[in-house]
Amino acid sequence: MAQATGDVETEYAAQPGQGPAAARSRLHRVAALPVRCYLAAQRGARALVRGVHQRWRRSLQLRVVTTTLLISALVTAVLGFFLVQQVLTGLLDAKREAALNDHKAGLDTAVSMMQDGDHSADQDGRAEEITTQLSNHSGTTGFYEVVMLPDVGGLRGYSTVEKASVPQRLREEVGQSELGRQFVTYTEIVGDDARTPGIVVGARLSNTYELYYLFPLDHEQQMLDLVQNTVFFVGTVLILLLAVIAYVVTRQVVSPVRAAAGSAEQLASGDLSERMKVRGEDDLARLALSFNDMAGNLQEKIRELEELSQVQRQFASDVSHELRTPLTTIRMAGDLLYEDRDELEPHMGRSVELLQSQLERFEELLADLLEISRHDANAVTLSMESVDVRDAVMKAVGDAEQIAEKTGIKVVMRLPAEPCTAEFDARRINRILRNLIVNAIEHSEGKDVIVTAAGDRDAVAVAVRDFGVGLKEGEEHMCFDRFWRADPARARTTGGTGLGLSMAKEDAQLHGGWLQAWGMPGKGSQFRLSLPRREGQELRGSPLPLAPPEMAIGRARGFSPPLTERPAGVAGEV
């Protein structure tokens, strides 16, 4: 036996996938099956609940029909309940009254028979005779049972019901009352094969015997069941009809509203030719007419604005080109005067210097107007190349170095240690960075300006931070509007056209990037340029936060770090 067992074990272990480990794995999988089924059912239930909730929120018609259905069901249930209660009360009252009358008639007959009989005769025989005669009569209520207590002619006399059908409490009340006084109560009639609800009426017939009539309520129960079924059927049909009516009525209202919503969406997407269909002369028809009039007026106004904008763009372009010729002549004359300013009188030399500076500003304004005209005409082309963002930052800082030295401001660069390349138009990105740095110097109120660059797998970013007057709430968006200035009355050190930030944002958007601003009054501001690493790539995030890290720390801890505090990673200073 041991040898046979060893052979079986060896063969079992030699077969792949049949060992104890495989068996335990199968057992684990089988044991985990209910858990997986439960989790799958739970996910399905959650998806169903989410779908129903979403459908409920989006469909006005579903909410109206469901609410009508629920309210109708509630009202029908309440009315049906009171109707059934009224019918039940009426049936029981009528049955009770008839039962008392039948019992009273039988009681009178039994008393008369007792008085007419021979007093010397056997009382049990007389009781049997009375029971027999009363059982052979039917009253206004139809079938009923007669019980004479104490028993006559055996355990139950001539009745087919058990003595337990008469409640003990009723027997006690009857036994303690005067002759002929009736008592009535509800009971359960116990027969040979069934138990049925009923009414029992009793009274003392003599000093020895008590007469009880038992009336079954099976007929009333059938009538009550019929009424209940009828109420349920009629209520269900009524609820469904109300739901259908609500669906039809709400559809007449919701369908035009849906059509209006679809037309509004088409209009919002730019299809200004979209119009609603007008049917009839009701309120919805007037809504459609008003919508169509609004769409027509909006289309006309937009067309007028487009024409006016086109005229304005053409005018700016024409003026910019036409002013170049006289500006060139004035520039040549101004250069000659500026070269000989030392030979002129002091006040004349000062005028020549002012003339030269204003000519330079005039040239900048014309160049900005021409660039804006190209943007408006969608005639801007990009010369994309792979550039290290660190080189772009250092070039922009170098271009603004003269302005920084003149104002005594230090520009601190925080650049990554490793190359951080991206594909962009170097000339336009350099113009954006130079504009941001010059603006930061101009608004820094004599404090340092920090330029930070960073990159990740998908994007590069440059943030320019100043500690000057900052931006008020809402100005972080307004600052990119054309010709907008935070404080037009403030003295400016370098002039400016008011178009720099507007053009910078449009150049950033041409690259598929972002140009965003953050600022707080008295805390300075920060402008962040974010660009995708590759041309045509969608920008999903930025390697640098929009708000300065020290402001986030200050808000969390309740203080603001000093301006002299510098985090690690400073690549250089200019």
Identify how many contiguous H helices and E strands the chain contains and give both numbers. Answer: 14, 12
What angle in degrees, to the nearest 10, is found between the helix axes of 346-376 and 500-510? 30
Spacing of C-alpha 218 from chain mean position:
56
* Angle between the N-to-C axes of helices 389-399 and 426-443, in degrees from 0 to 180, rounded to the nearest 10: 50
Distance (Å, whole) CA 404 – CA 397: 9
Rounded to a whole number of angstroms, the distance between the first and last alpha carbons of the chain is 95
More confident residue, 311 or 86: 86
> Would you say residue 1 has pLDDT above 50?
no
**What residues contact 192, with CB distance under 8 A and at least 6 apart?**
160
Instruction: Give pLDDT, residue 559.
Output: 34
Q: Is the dihedral of CA 494, 497, 502, 506 positive or negative?
A: negative
Residue 374 banded pLDDT, cuts 50, 70, 90: low
Tokens of 531: 């660009």
Every domain of the chain and the residues it spans = 272-380, 386-573
Fold of 386-573: Heat Shock Protein 90 (3.30.565)
CB burial string 165-187: b at 16+ within 10 A, e below: bbeeebbeebeeeeeeebbbeeb
User: CATH says 272-380 is which class?
Assistant: mainly alpha
Q: Tell me what the mean pLDDT of segment 398-424 comes to.
A: 87
How many residues are given for the chain?
A: 574
- 272-380 and 386-573: identical CATH topology: no
What pLDDT is stored for residue 460 in this prediction?
A: 92
197: tokens are: 């609800």
**pLDDT, tens digit (0-9, with 9 covering 90-100), for 182-194:** 999 988 888 767 7
DSSP H or E run through 148: strand 145-149
Tens digit of each residue's pLDDT (9 = 90 or more) over 218-274: 888 888 889 999 999 999 998 889 888 888 888 887 777 778 778 888 877 777 777
Q: pLDDT tens digits for 154-202?
A: 434 445 677 788 888 988 888 888 888 999 998 888 876 778 888 899 9
Alpha-carbon gap, residue 72 to 246, rounded angstroms: 11
Q: Higher confidence at residue 134 or residue 72?
A: 72
Tell me the C-alpha distance between 545 and 557, whole Å.
18
Q: Which of 495, 319, 511 shows the shortest CA–CA distance to 431? A: 511
Predicted confidence band of residue 78 (pLDDT cuts 50, 70, 90): very high
CA triple 450-451-452, angle to 5 deg: 115
Residue with tokens 């301006």: 563
Looking at residue 464, what DSSP letter applies?
E
